[in-house]
Amino acid sequence: MTTISHHLRLVHDRINAASLAAGRDPSSVRLLAVSKTFGADAVIDAVQAGQRAFGENYIAEGVEKIDALRRWQADETPRTGVATGTLEWHCIGPIQSNKTRLVAEHFDWAQSVDRLKIAQRLSEQRPPALAPLQVCLQVNIDGGVNKSGVAPGDALALAAEVARLPRLVLRGLMAIPEPAIDFVAACALHTCARALFDQINASGELAVPMDTLSLGMTADLEAAIRAGSTMVRVGTAIFGGR
Ligand SMILES: *Cc1c(COP(=O)(O)O)cnc(C)c1O
Protein backbone atom coordinates (compact mmCIF):
# COMPACT_ATOMS: atom_id res chain seq x y z
CA MET A 1 0.00 0.00 0.00
CA THR A 2 1.36 3.47 -0.83
CA THR A 3 1.40 6.22 1.75
CA ILE A 4 -1.29 8.05 -0.19
CA SER A 5 -3.61 5.07 -0.29
CA HIS A 6 -3.06 4.59 3.45
CA HIS A 7 -3.83 8.27 4.09
CA LEU A 8 -6.96 8.05 1.96
CA ARG A 9 -8.13 5.16 4.10
CA LEU A 10 -7.58 7.18 7.25
CA VAL A 11 -9.52 10.13 5.82
CA HIS A 12 -12.41 7.85 4.87
CA ASP A 13 -12.35 6.51 8.43
CA ARG A 14 -12.62 10.07 9.75
CA ILE A 15 -15.50 10.85 7.37
CA ASN A 16 -17.31 7.66 8.38
CA ALA A 17 -16.87 8.30 12.10
CA ALA A 18 -17.91 11.95 11.84
CA SER A 19 -20.96 11.07 9.76
CA LEU A 20 -22.10 8.41 12.20
CA ALA A 21 -21.50 10.76 15.15
CA ALA A 22 -23.72 13.31 13.42
CA GLY A 23 -26.40 10.73 12.67
CA ARG A 24 -25.68 10.94 8.94
CA ASP A 25 -25.14 8.38 6.20
CA PRO A 26 -21.38 8.43 5.36
CA SER A 27 -22.23 8.16 1.67
CA SER A 28 -23.82 11.64 1.89
CA VAL A 29 -20.32 13.16 2.22
CA ARG A 30 -18.03 13.22 -0.80
CA LEU A 31 -14.26 13.50 -0.56
CA LEU A 32 -12.48 15.99 -2.80
CA ALA A 33 -8.73 15.32 -2.79
CA VAL A 34 -6.92 18.67 -2.95
CA SER A 35 -3.78 17.99 -4.95
CA LYS A 36 -2.47 21.56 -5.26
CA THR A 37 1.35 21.80 -5.25
CA PHE A 38 1.69 18.01 -5.64
CA GLY A 39 2.64 16.45 -8.95
CA ALA A 40 0.77 14.20 -11.33
CA ASP A 41 2.47 11.19 -9.72
CA ALA A 42 0.69 11.86 -6.43
CA VAL A 43 -2.64 12.16 -8.25
CA ILE A 44 -1.97 8.87 -10.04
CA ASP A 45 -1.31 7.19 -6.67
CA ALA A 46 -4.65 8.48 -5.40
CA VAL A 47 -6.47 7.39 -8.58
CA GLN A 48 -5.03 3.91 -8.18
CA ALA A 49 -6.35 3.91 -4.60
CA GLY A 50 -9.84 4.65 -5.92
CA GLN A 51 -10.04 8.45 -5.58
CA ARG A 52 -11.75 10.17 -8.53
CA ALA A 53 -12.44 13.83 -7.59
CA PHE A 54 -9.54 16.30 -7.33
CA GLY A 55 -9.35 19.96 -6.36
CA GLU A 56 -6.79 22.45 -7.67
CA ASN A 57 -6.20 26.04 -6.52
CA TYR A 58 -3.83 27.31 -9.17
CA ILE A 59 -5.44 27.19 -12.57
CA ALA A 60 -2.39 26.79 -14.82
CA GLU A 61 -0.97 24.10 -12.51
CA GLY A 62 -4.34 22.36 -12.49
CA VAL A 63 -4.62 22.35 -16.28
CA GLU A 64 -1.15 20.85 -16.56
CA LYS A 65 -2.14 18.01 -14.22
CA ILE A 66 -5.47 17.47 -15.97
CA ASP A 67 -3.59 17.02 -19.25
CA ALA A 68 -0.97 14.77 -17.64
CA LEU A 69 -3.64 12.54 -16.13
CA ARG A 70 -5.49 12.38 -19.45
CA ARG A 71 -2.31 11.17 -21.15
CA TRP A 72 -1.70 8.69 -18.34
CA GLN A 73 -5.23 7.33 -18.60
CA ALA A 74 -4.93 6.96 -22.37
CA ASP A 75 -1.74 4.95 -21.90
CA GLU A 76 -2.80 2.97 -18.86
CA THR A 77 -6.51 2.30 -19.33
CA PRO A 78 -6.00 -0.98 -21.15
CA ARG A 79 -3.80 -2.21 -18.31
CA THR A 80 -5.44 -0.69 -15.21
CA GLY A 81 -9.07 -0.59 -16.28
CA VAL A 82 -9.33 3.06 -15.16
CA ALA A 83 -11.39 4.49 -17.99
CA THR A 84 -10.56 7.88 -19.51
CA GLY A 85 -13.01 10.55 -18.51
CA THR A 86 -13.89 9.20 -15.09
CA LEU A 87 -11.87 11.78 -13.17
CA GLU A 88 -13.57 14.93 -11.93
CA TRP A 89 -11.60 18.18 -11.58
CA HIS A 90 -12.70 21.03 -9.32
CA CYS A 91 -11.27 24.54 -9.45
CA ILE A 92 -11.20 25.74 -5.82
CA GLY A 93 -8.87 28.75 -6.09
CA PRO A 94 -9.46 32.40 -6.99
CA ILE A 95 -10.60 32.91 -10.61
CA GLN A 96 -9.48 36.13 -12.32
CA SER A 97 -11.25 37.25 -15.50
CA ASN A 98 -8.26 36.35 -17.67
CA LYS A 99 -8.36 32.74 -16.37
CA THR A 100 -12.03 31.95 -16.94
CA ARG A 101 -11.45 30.40 -20.35
CA LEU A 102 -8.95 27.89 -18.96
CA VAL A 103 -11.40 26.94 -16.22
CA ALA A 104 -14.33 26.67 -18.64
CA GLU A 105 -12.37 24.51 -21.07
CA HIS A 106 -10.67 22.13 -18.63
CA PHE A 107 -12.48 21.76 -15.30
CA ASP A 108 -15.71 19.95 -14.42
CA TRP A 109 -16.54 22.12 -11.43
CA ALA A 110 -15.73 25.68 -10.32
CA GLN A 111 -16.29 26.08 -6.57
CA SER A 112 -14.83 29.55 -6.16
CA VAL A 113 -17.28 31.69 -8.14
CA ASP A 114 -17.96 34.86 -6.18
CA ARG A 115 -19.21 37.42 -8.68
CA LEU A 116 -21.59 37.56 -11.62
CA LYS A 117 -19.02 38.72 -14.17
CA ILE A 118 -16.92 35.61 -13.61
CA ALA A 119 -19.98 33.36 -13.82
CA GLN A 120 -21.09 35.00 -17.08
CA ARG A 121 -17.68 34.51 -18.65
CA LEU A 122 -17.57 30.87 -17.54
CA SER A 123 -20.99 30.28 -19.08
CA GLU A 124 -20.07 31.99 -22.36
CA GLN A 125 -16.74 30.20 -22.62
CA ARG A 126 -17.91 26.69 -21.69
CA PRO A 127 -17.37 24.63 -24.87
CA PRO A 128 -20.63 23.28 -26.34
CA ALA A 129 -19.16 19.77 -26.53
CA LEU A 130 -18.74 19.61 -22.75
CA ALA A 131 -21.41 19.12 -20.09
CA PRO A 132 -22.39 22.34 -18.31
CA LEU A 133 -19.87 23.54 -15.74
CA GLN A 134 -20.93 22.62 -12.19
CA VAL A 135 -20.65 25.66 -9.94
CA CYS A 136 -20.54 26.52 -6.26
CA LEU A 137 -20.60 30.09 -4.97
CA GLN A 138 -17.78 30.83 -2.57
CA VAL A 139 -19.19 32.64 0.45
CA ASN A 140 -17.09 34.77 2.81
CA ILE A 141 -18.97 33.31 5.74
CA ASP A 142 -17.02 34.95 8.58
CA GLY A 143 -16.41 38.26 6.82
CA GLY A 144 -12.60 37.97 6.73
CA VAL A 145 -11.35 41.21 5.14
CA ASN A 146 -8.72 39.62 2.91
CA LYS A 147 -10.80 36.71 1.77
CA SER A 148 -12.56 36.14 -1.47
CA GLY A 149 -16.16 35.10 -1.48
CA VAL A 150 -19.51 36.82 -1.87
CA ALA A 151 -20.83 38.47 1.30
CA PRO A 152 -23.55 36.28 2.88
CA GLY A 153 -26.10 39.07 2.42
CA ASP A 154 -25.47 39.13 -1.34
CA ALA A 155 -25.40 35.38 -1.87
CA LEU A 156 -29.09 34.85 -2.59
CA ALA A 157 -29.20 37.48 -5.35
CA LEU A 158 -26.01 36.07 -6.93
CA ALA A 159 -27.34 32.51 -6.71
CA ALA A 160 -30.55 33.51 -8.49
CA GLU A 161 -28.58 35.11 -11.35
CA VAL A 162 -26.00 32.34 -11.68
CA ALA A 163 -28.75 29.70 -11.74
CA ARG A 164 -30.14 31.31 -14.90
CA LEU A 165 -26.91 31.14 -16.91
CA PRO A 166 -27.27 28.56 -19.68
CA ARG A 167 -23.94 26.73 -19.52
CA LEU A 168 -23.64 26.52 -15.72
CA VAL A 169 -25.39 24.36 -13.15
CA LEU A 170 -25.55 25.95 -9.70
CA ARG A 171 -24.75 23.09 -7.33
CA GLY A 172 -24.17 24.82 -4.03
CA LEU A 173 -22.03 26.89 -1.69
CA MET A 174 -18.39 26.65 -0.70
CA ALA A 175 -16.78 28.34 2.31
CA ILE A 176 -13.37 28.45 3.96
CA PRO A 177 -13.93 29.70 7.51
CA GLU A 178 -10.99 30.96 9.57
CA PRO A 179 -9.44 28.29 11.81
CA ALA A 180 -11.49 28.07 15.00
CA ILE A 181 -10.16 27.51 18.52
CA ASP A 182 -12.13 24.33 19.13
CA PHE A 183 -14.78 21.97 17.76
CA VAL A 184 -17.71 23.98 19.08
CA ALA A 185 -16.45 27.22 17.54
CA ALA A 186 -15.73 25.45 14.23
CA CYS A 187 -19.24 23.99 14.20
CA ALA A 188 -20.71 27.44 14.78
CA LEU A 189 -18.92 28.84 11.70
CA HIS A 190 -19.89 25.92 9.49
CA THR A 191 -23.46 26.12 10.75
CA CYS A 192 -23.67 29.71 9.46
CA ALA A 193 -22.86 28.39 5.99
CA ARG A 194 -25.43 25.64 6.36
CA ALA A 195 -28.08 28.15 7.44
CA LEU A 196 -27.38 30.31 4.39
CA PHE A 197 -27.59 27.23 2.15
CA ASP A 198 -30.97 26.29 3.63
CA GLN A 199 -32.21 29.88 3.38
CA ILE A 200 -31.33 30.15 -0.33
CA ASN A 201 -32.94 26.81 -1.10
CA ALA A 202 -36.08 27.82 0.82
CA SER A 203 -36.29 31.23 -0.90
CA GLY A 204 -38.15 30.00 -3.95
CA GLU A 205 -35.63 31.84 -6.17
CA LEU A 206 -34.05 28.67 -7.56
CA ALA A 207 -35.92 26.40 -9.97
CA VAL A 208 -33.71 23.52 -8.83
CA PRO A 209 -32.45 23.43 -5.23
CA MET A 210 -28.72 23.29 -4.54
CA ASP A 211 -27.40 19.91 -3.40
CA THR A 212 -23.77 20.64 -2.47
CA LEU A 213 -22.38 22.24 0.66
CA SER A 214 -18.60 22.25 0.25
CA LEU A 215 -17.21 22.72 3.76
CA GLY A 216 -14.38 21.28 5.78
CA MET A 217 -10.67 20.64 5.25
CA THR A 218 -8.03 18.54 7.01
CA ALA A 219 -8.31 20.43 10.30
CA ASP A 220 -12.07 20.81 10.58
CA LEU A 221 -13.82 18.15 8.54
CA GLU A 222 -15.56 16.66 11.61
CA ALA A 223 -17.13 20.01 12.49
CA ALA A 224 -18.12 20.59 8.86
CA ILE A 225 -19.80 17.20 8.64
CA ARG A 226 -21.65 17.90 11.88
CA ALA A 227 -22.95 21.12 10.32
CA GLY A 228 -24.14 19.34 7.15
CA SER A 229 -21.23 19.41 4.70
CA THR A 230 -21.77 17.21 1.66
CA MET A 231 -18.22 17.61 0.32
CA VAL A 232 -15.02 17.89 2.32
CA ARG A 233 -11.90 19.22 0.56
CA VAL A 234 -8.85 17.52 1.99
CA GLY A 235 -5.23 18.12 0.99
CA THR A 236 -2.72 17.75 3.82
CA ALA A 237 -4.19 14.59 5.35
CA ILE A 238 -3.93 12.82 1.97
CA PHE A 239 -0.84 14.20 0.26
CA GLY A 240 1.15 15.54 3.24
CA GLY A 241 2.29 19.02 4.23
CA ARG A 242 2.87 21.72 1.61
C1 LIG B 1 -5.73 24.01 0.23
C2 LIG B 1 -7.22 24.00 0.29
C3 LIG B 1 -7.90 22.93 0.88
C4 LIG B 1 -7.22 21.76 1.56
O5 LIG B 1 -6.66 22.18 2.78
P6 LIG B 1 -5.94 21.13 3.76
O7 LIG B 1 -5.89 21.88 5.05
O8 LIG B 1 -4.59 20.86 3.19
O9 LIG B 1 -6.79 19.93 3.84
C10 LIG B 1 -9.29 22.95 0.84
N11 LIG B 1 -9.96 23.96 0.25
C12 LIG B 1 -9.34 25.01 -0.31
C13 LIG B 1 -10.14 26.07 -0.94
C14 LIG B 1 -7.96 25.07 -0.30
O15 LIG B 1 -7.35 26.13 -0.83
pLDDT digits (tens, 9 = 90+) for 185-239: 999 999 999 999 999 999 999 999 999 999 999 999 999 999 999 999 999 999 9
pLDDT digits (tens, 9 = 90+) for 62-87: 999 999 999 998 888 777 776 666 89
Measured from the Cα of 218, ligand 1's closest atom is 9
3-state secondary structure of 137: strand
The pLDDT mean for the chain works out to 95
Pocket-forming residues, ligand 1, beta carbon under 6 Å: 34, 36, 57, 92, 176, 217-219, 233-236
Ligand 1 center from residue 204 Cα (angstroms): 32
Are 30 and 230 contacting, i.e. CB atoms less than 8 angstroms apart? yes
What average pLDDT does the segment 145-159 reach?
A: 92
Ligand 1 center from residue 237 Cα (angstroms): 10
| pTM given for the model | 0.96
pLDDT digits (tens, 9 = 90+) for 37-54: 999 999 999 999 999 999
Overall CATH class of domain 3-239: alpha beta
Report, in angstroms and rounded to the nearest whole number, the Rg of the chain calculated over CA atoms: 17
State the pLDDT confidence band at 144, using cuts at 50, 70 and 90: confident
Are 156 and 204 contacting, i.e. CB atoms less than 8 angstroms apart? no
| Bridge partners of residue 68, in order along the sequence | none
148, burial (CB in 10 Å: exposed 0-12, middle 13-18, buried 19+) = middle
Q: In terms of pLDDT, which residue wins out, 61 or 82?
A: 61
